[in-house]
């Protein structure tokens, strides 16, 4: 049975974000705004960001990320699926 609170959260429209150039030069210029470098333990991820567990690059999206979304890490060519971690945060897991 699906919890009504979870269903309402999924039905809510996703927030949109404008992405600025970050200077990430490991991908072609067209895609640089979708990636940034991880700044360490003090770095906080936004609702539109996920960290790649393979190469530790932050993947950015123009829309809010939710559990079950799939993202692609171009620097290491990994396909990732977002899952809910034990602490409630989103975590990327390698699909292949």
In the three-class reduction of DSSP (H, G, I as helix; E, B as strand; rest coil), residue 91 is classed as strand
- Angstrom CA distances, 41 to 21, 45, 46, 66, 88, stand at 22, 11, 14, 22, 18
What confidence tens digit (pLDDT) does each residue in 24-83 have?
999 999 999 999 999 988 989 999 999 999 999 999 999 999 999 999 999 999 999 999
Kindly report whether the global pTM for this prediction surpasses the value 0.85. no
Residue 33: CB atoms within 10 Å: 17
pLDDT interval class at 10 (50, 70, 90) = low
pLDDT value for 6 = 53
Q: For residue 1, is pLDDT > 50? A: no
């Amino acid at each position: 049975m699906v919890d009504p609170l979870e269903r309402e959260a999924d039905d809510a429209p996703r927030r949109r974000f404008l992405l600025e150039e970050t200077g990430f030069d490991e991908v072609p210029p067209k895609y640089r705004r979708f990636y940034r470098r991880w700044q360490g333990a003090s770095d906080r991820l936004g609702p539109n960001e996920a960290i790649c567990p393979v190469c530790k690059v932050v993947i950015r999206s123009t829309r809010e990320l939710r559990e079950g979304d799939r993202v692609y890490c171009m620097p290491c060519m990994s396909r990732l699926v977002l899952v809910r971690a034990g602490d409630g945060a989103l975590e990327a897991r390698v699909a292949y």
